[in-house]
Amino acid sequence: MKLGLNIDHIATIRQARRAREPEPVTAALMAELAGAEGITVHLRSDRRHIQDRDVELLRQVVATRLNIEMAATEEMVGIACRVKPHQVTLVPERPDEVTTTGGLDVVQHHSAVRGAVAACRAAGIRASIFVDAIPEHVDASRAAGADAIEINTGPYADAPDAQRQAQLARVAAAAERAAAAGLEVLAGHGLNYVNVTPIVRLPQIVELNIGHAIIARAVLVGLDRAVREMVGLLKT
């Protein structure tokens, strides 16, 4: 299973001081050397962490795959079509949220999602959609023309022990449904070094996007070691 490292928090530290460092590009290159097979960033409308120049520089230097998380808005689609990352992942976005807290309601926002997917694919960009483990949202993602979905593992990661198995089963069912429909299946949100293994064992999931847990560990042990340890868990 591949690891896509989300490096938003590197930019969060930089923006806290409006400084020049730490540099997200440097973190991306170090992560690739340590075994990450993709780099993910979320370009938010409020630019709270990742900036436009970051995605432009990352597109030039990332050797694996650059995935830009973004809202399905005209502004973001325009940036994606100009920068041309390897993949975009459409996500919901609320101004007051600390981080993305749930999947995109593809049923409710089908027209906007379908339009964003079509524009990105026309520009040669793979399109993925971050969705909750809900059958209707998986089906709507396929109908919108997406190449892939990323299943929200937050409810699984946050569940009490007594409920975690049920949440895992929901993720597994969504992964099976998506794979049967011809979608590539990714997953992420809330995963860490303790809870990731059951997700790794789901055969339909080919990649995990993980950010906070790895960057938090990197503060204590260094980015190279933190990435290598997670890569090791994903290869077991």
Q: Which residues are catalytic?
A: 42, 69, 189
Longest dimension (CA), the chain: 47
d(CA 45, CA 205): 29
Task: Say whether 41 sits in a helix, a strand or coil.
Answer: strand
Report phi then psi at 3, rounded to 5: -110, 125
Q: Which residue has the tokens 């975690």?
A: 164
Q: How many CB atoms lie within 10 A of CB 172?
A: 20
d(CA 214, CA 192): 7
Cis peptide before 24 (omega within 30 of 0): no
Print burial letters for 41-63: b (CB count within 10 Å at least 16), e (below 16): bbbbeeeebbbeebbeebeeebe
